[in-house]
Structure 1
Amino acid sequence: MADFDSKARRARLRLALMGAAVVAALAAGGVLGVMTLNAGDEDLKQDPKAAPSVASSGGSAAPSHKEFTPANAPSIPRLKPMSNAEGIGTGFEHSSLGATSAAISYWEDLDLLDDVIARKQWTAIASKDSPGTIDQGVTEVRKVREGVGLPPSGGTPDGITFSTHVKAALTRSLDTSGDIVNVWMVFDRYATIRDKGADENPLKDQVTNLVLKWEGNDWKVTTETQYTAKVKYPHAYDPASKYAWAEGWRAVADG
């Protein structure tokens, strides 16, 4: 038990330090749209005005129209998957909302430590045109396992659970057809360890993105350079900023 508890603590700390970088290697060369699991605001385009306006001491009149922010504007509804493959939801409708919902669902459901499950999940959601995504994703899971003192292949130790919660998203089409879509996401990640309780220092406000391609009647993750090269960093997310809303950031329902 002592050995397990030590590994559990090390696993949590390691994952916190790495941002649970299960697929961080995919960032090389712009893969997965320059995925940055640890990205903070400094990694996104900064806007000197990207903050809520503050009334001057002169008491100027409030604007006559409401200025939307991600916090006060309608949130993005989440479509539920119509099918399931290897423990990950699949079968999202052919629409921008379908792509956004797929990206959020994939990101929340991907296994972080079990390389066998991770391979099955990546196989289910990866585009046939970018099969290397599967091996790269599994390789990163194994690196994380070795980094916390676990065998390179195997399941998640009993007593450790993780949950990922996407709370905001920004979706952009990368082509004129709308069939290649990039989805930026802001998420929190929590760990729970048996007998230790909930994570006291969860990862908060992490940023990542997935490039999705409409293929085989579903949205698939693609790492094709012709698409990932088109991905641009957005301005930093701020739920209280009208500039973040204008950029396209939207709060996610129940996110």
Structure 2
Amino acid sequence: MGSYDSKARRARLRLAAVGVSAVAALALVGTLAITTLSGGEDEPGKVEAKSPPDSSASGSPAPTASAKEFTPATAARIPLLKATSNTDGIGTGFEHSALGATSAAVSYWEDLDFLDDVIAEKQWSAIAASDSPETVDQGVSEVRKVREGVGLPPSGGTPDGITFSTNVKAALTRSLEPSGDVVNVWMVFDRFATIKDKGTDGDPLRDETTNLILKWQNGDWKVTTEAKYTAKVRGPRAYDPDSKFAWMDGWREVSDG
């Protein structure tokens, strides 16, 4: 995970706190883009393509003389693929392609539980690379930090009466290996809390940025946090749906089809 982690963690804590506090208050009265894969050694805000763009893989228009006029909001969205299987409560089974990698990252991030450490451990175990066991440990550790940060016991489930939903809006995918079998996927997402009998949180998280590194292993895309890959990750240009520079950097809006 990249340099946005501290900000994202604070944001997760804030949202969790809003949801948990709301549930506690209720109790008191009787009642939580794909783009063509390019080299991973890119500088922040810059794409150094190692191979010609493959517009068929990304679902985006091929670059032309007028490409600079596109923005993430005006260009074609990436039609994400659906998971073909389910393992321990998380969608799995994505094709071996750039689109498959992006679809997997978005699906994983939207499905991962970030407040129930027991569920999270099963989910991370299902999607972590076999040679990256620390990925599971880090994922579970993050959940427990969130729990402690909002005054919950280190281990346990989500408080009754609150649910969360995560919606990834845009993605930027770059290869970290010439083979294209290890990719880094940046994502911009919103997260909402819904409280029983109270509706949706009026102050949701918006435009948060995170990333997952995936490698093709045993017929599916698996998450890895191996140092040899995390060292290659560089922060992207900030996402802006109306910026032609964000589009040129590789940001694409995504669609569930």
Give the TM bin, normalised by the shorter chain: 0.7 to 0.9
1:254 Cα deviation from its structure 2 partner: 4.9
Check the 8 A contact 1:167/1:254 in 2, yes or no. Answer: no
Corresponding residue to 1:73 among 72, 75, 87: 75
SS for the counterpart of 1:231 is coil
- Out of 206-215 and 145-154, give the one that drifted further: 145-154
Show the counterpart of 2:230. Answer: 228
Deviation by residue 1:156-197 (Cα, 9 ceiling, x = unmatched): 111110010000000001111000000000000111112332
Q: Which of 186, 189, 210 is the equivalent residue of 1:187?
A: 189
Aligned match for 2:10, one of 9, 14, 18: 18
AA aligned to 2:175 is S
Would the alpha carbon gap of residues 133 and 157 (structure 1) be closer, same or farther in structure 2, given more than 3 Å must change? Answer: same
Q: Distance in 1 between matches of 2:131 and 2:9?
A: 32
Q: What amino acid maps onto 2:144 in structure 1? A: R
SS of the residue aligned with 1:155? Answer: coil
**Equivalent residues in 2 for 1:139-158, closer than 5 Å:** 139-158=141-160
Cα deviation, residue 149, structure 1: 2.3
Paired with 1:231 and 1:146, the residues of 2 have a C-alpha distance of 29
Conserved? CA contact 2:194–2:200, under 8 Å: yes
| Distance in 1, Cα, partners of 2:126 & 2:9 | 28
Give 1:129's aligned residue. 131
Q: Deviations over 1:91-126 (max 9, x none)?
A: 000000000000000000000111110000000001
Contact 1:115 1:154 in 2 (8 A): yes
Whichever residue aligns with residue 136 of structure 1, its letter is Q
Name the structure 1 match of 2:19: none
What letter corresponds to residue 198 of structure 2 in structure 1? K
Q: 1:116 aligns with which of 95, 108, 118?
A: 118
Q: Structure 2: which 5+ runs fail to align?
A: 1-6, 14-42, 47-64
> What corresponds to 1:94 in structure 2?
96
Deviates more, 1:205-214 or 1:148-157: 148-157
Inter-partner Cα distance in structure 1 for 2:116 and 2:66? 51
User: 160, 172, 175: which one pairs with 2:174?
Assistant: 172
TM-score (norm 2): 0.74
Contact kept, 8 Å, 1:213 with 1:220, in 2: the verdict is: yes
C-alpha distance in 2, partners of 1:178/1:169? 17
Superposed structure 1 runs of 4+ greater than 6 Å apart = none
- The match for 1:205 is 207
Contact kept in structure 2, 1:45 and 1:236, CA below 8 Å: no
Task: Find 1:243's aligned residue among 235, 241, 245.
Answer: 245
Give the structure 1 partner of residue 84 of structure 2: 82
Gaps of 5+ in 1: 1-14, 22-43, 48-63
Task: Tell me, in whole angstroms, the C-alpha distance in 2 between the residues paired with 1:17 and 1:237.
Answer: 19
Contact 2:81–2:256 under 8 Å retained in 1: no
Q: Secondary structure at the match of 1:19?
A: helix
| Residue-by-residue CA offset, 1:210-241 (whole Å, 9 max, x unaligned) | 00000010000011111111111111111111
What is the distance in 2 between the residues matched to 1:77 and 1:191? Answer: 26
**Percent of residue pairs bearing the same amino acid type:** 71
Equivalent-residue separation in structure 2 for 1:89 and 1:17 (angstroms): 24
Which aligned pairs between 1:41-60 and structure 2 lie closer than 5 A? 45=44
